Homo-oligomer: A and B are copies of this chain.
Amino acid sequence: MSQSKPSETLESIPKSVVERLSLYLREIQILVREGQKTISSHKLGKRLGLSDAQVRKDLAYFGQFGYPGIGYRCDQLVAEIRKILGTDQIWSVALVGCGNLGQALLGYQGFQTQGFSIELAFDANPQTVGRRFRQISVRPMEAFEADIRRSKILLAILAVPAEAAQAVADRMVSAGVSGILNFAPVTLTLPNVVGVVSVDLATKLEQLAFTVVNELRKE
């Protein structure tokens, strides 16, 4: 019954569905660690505050993974979701910007667990170049293009100040990077084929403020 769809059909999948795939993956990984073998869409949804119909609909974009009367086999669903996301392989990642945020990212356990390994780190500050964080020796920006091309790295993390972000992103693209995780609070203008996911932390606080204000307004 477990069957993935061919990748040509993956074009028009809403971003929110892909985000939920990560949530499902994270939750089922916890279940696997707890020794659980199977999970129903109802129980999986309940753990995440989603309906069972939503869970089934999201997964149906990618194929047929459930077994009637059993639900999903946890191990198998982890493998399938990783395959869909492309994290059934380890991705080498380059980090640009080794300030506090960059250093925090170098130590972020969640990356390694999910299949991402920061292999190269760069900084523009001569005082930071050459320092070692978690086995990674910080390289100068002058070496960026050559290092990226040699290592064939496709994913990069942008953790530089806002004013430097666009210029560094342009350099990433010309060096062959095709996906950028952007922490700078700016909108990057880049070719369409380059994937950009921006982390705007103030946005997250705004969502919280909205929730809290609406709870208060109800009282």
Contact = CB atoms under 8 A, between A and B. Distances in A.
A15 B54 CA distance: 15
A130 interface: no
Contact of A86 (B100, B115, B154, B210): B210
- How many protomers of this protein does the assembly include? 2
A10 B214 contact: yes
B179 A212 contact: yes
Interface residues of A, number: 68
Interface string A14-37: 011011011101110010000000
A108 interface: yes
Interface in A165-219: 178-181, 185, 187, 193, 195, 197, 199-217
Given A197-B204, A199-B199, A211 B22 contact: no
